[in-house]
Structure 1
Amino acid sequence: MWHLAKAPDLADMEVMAHEMFALLPEGFRKLCEGLIIRVDDFPTDEVLEELQAETEFDLLGLFQGVGLPFQSGEVSGQMPNMIWLYRRPILDYWAEHDETLGHIVRHVLVHEIGHHFGLSDDDMEAIEAQVTDEAAEMPLGAPARSG
């Protein structure tokens, strides 16, 4: 079947990201109310410059917004919190590591959300451990369970 396999396009990767997000623990997802998940091929030049990335493959994802510890009431004109997943760097990482694509996407989501909310690496590992590896390997478009 590998001779028929193709890398996911932007739309497929966005579907996968939403499916992986839906599988995260409910309490963690509730902290992300209103979060927008977007997929692009690469970070913008401005993001690369701001984060002092050496190449466009250095970033797998990015959180943009105001995390929970820093939010205060209603602020007018504030943009919604967003997670960016960068398809080409994720696919490059996937090609060079022994992990499923779903596992990598889930890891990037948890990492981007978790660090901004002040979670430690141990906290993020515990959140990821609550989602079975089978969920990270499910095919695109398979129904995601919430829990």
Structure 2
Amino acid sequence: MMGEAPGADAIEAIARATIARLPARFAEHLGAVVVLVEEVADDETLAELGIEHPLDLTGLYHGRPVGEKSSMESGAMPDRIHLYRRAILEEWIETEVRLDDLVAHVVIHEIGHHFGLSDDAMHALEDAPGDPGR
């Protein structure tokens, strides 16, 4: 592989394109979700999740799933999807999966947590016609 590794802007662009291709029934509930691309997860996050190596975490959803939210809540931080650039790039190199497919997979998985979806439901969403991960 030659050249520079894709930067945070490139990964964010793929993530936003993935979100833009989601079915309307999902996209209409994502208005307040913030996408953040960071190099690696911080030590506190890794410790909370019981993950020893920062390259083992490609993405993380922070927030309350849509079904658990209340209209009475105020002052809460916006829901966030964290994408960890170095871990994504490491997996990209190891698996040789296209970068856009890999980032889309991570984004869809984290969006699934936003909606409280099971892993099976997330895989079904990825495999659906018009799949944002393909």
For the criterion TM > 0.5, the same-fold answer is yes
| Structure 1: stretches of 5+ with no match in the other structure | 138-147
Matches within 5 A, 1:1-147: 3=2, 5-130=3-128, 132=130
| Equivalent residues of 1:23, 1:131 under 8 A apart | no
| Structure 1 stretches of 4+ moved >6 Å | none
| TM-score after normalising by structure 2 | 0.89
More contact order relative to length (CA 8 Å, sep ≥ 6): 1
CA gap 1:18/1:131 in 2 versus in 1, 3 angstroms: farther
The share of aligned pairs that are identical, in percent, is: 40
Q: Distance in 2 between matches of 1:35 and 1:83?
A: 7
Unaligned runs of 5+ in 2: none
Q: Is the 8 A contact 2:126 2:133 kept in 1?
A: no
Aligned-CA RMSD value: 1.9
Contact 1:25 1:127 in 2 (8 A): no
Worse-matched range after superposition: 69-78 or 87-96 = 69-78
What amino acid is aligned across from residue 127 of structure 2 in structure 1? Answer: A
